[in-house]
Amino acid sequence: MSAMSAMSADARDRILRVADLIDRPGVSRRVDLAVPASADLELDMATLEGDIRLTGVLESVVDGILLRGTLVAELQMACARCLADLEQVVAADVVELFSTPSEDSDDIDPGYEIVDTTIDLDTLTRDALVPAVPYRPLCAEDCKGLCVQCGTNRNETECSCEDSIVDARWAALEKLQLGDCDTP
Ligand SMILES: [Zn+2]
Ligand SMILES: [Zn+2]
């Protein structure tokens, strides 16, 4: 157990004892866990707030232990248009099989092994959370964003520069259309 005691407290909290489910197909147990993310978890433009909540069922099956559930995490992000801080709660369904490594099966995904009657939830939480991060979160559907000219947050203050660009474009377009009409 020396390897276990050398781990950080967070790493220990990601490890789940499953001795009660090994080789007992049909037996299941509900889980409701707060899983701390590992320090090296990197999310695209997002910071995890607090622990990852994992609720679901652990079921003993012939091939190992099946975890079926939902993972919920609170992320701190920035609006893609105006850069305001915003909180995003993301949820992801998970269905993963943890198996006991044996000599004739080297097809177990790394991170999904049953080791010493325990399973480590680190890989599972990463695999589920990383793709769940919103690509372009918005503080509001109708967020007006920052003015590309002067940087003003257009949700808070009106500025006139962007309108003049749009006007100029319209004028150019109108000229073009008129030109088309004139050609016989
Ligand atoms: Zn915004
Ligand atoms: Zn402006």
Q: How far is the CA of 155 from the centre of ligand 2 (A)?
A: 12
Counting ligands in written order, the one closest to the CA of 149 is 2
d(CA 76, CA 60): 36
Residue 72 has pLDDT above 80, yes or no: yes
Counting ligands in written order, the one closest to the CA of 163 is 2
What is the per-residue pLDDT for 115?
92
Cα torsion angle, 151, 155, 157, 163, sign: positive
What's the pLDDT tens digit per position in 3-50? 555 677 788 889 999 999 999 999 999 999 999 998 888 898 999 999
Show the beta-strand stretches assigned E in the chain: 15-17, 28-35, 47-61, 64-78, 85-98, 118-120
What does residue 96 show for φ and ψ, rounded to 5 degrees?
A: -140, 145
What's the pLDDT tens digit per position in 59-69? 999 989 999 99
What is the per-residue pLDDT for 109?
78
Counting ligands in written order, the one closest to the CA of 137 is 1
Q: How far is the CA of 173 from the centre of ligand 1 (A)?
A: 30
Share of the chain above pLDDT 90, in %: 66
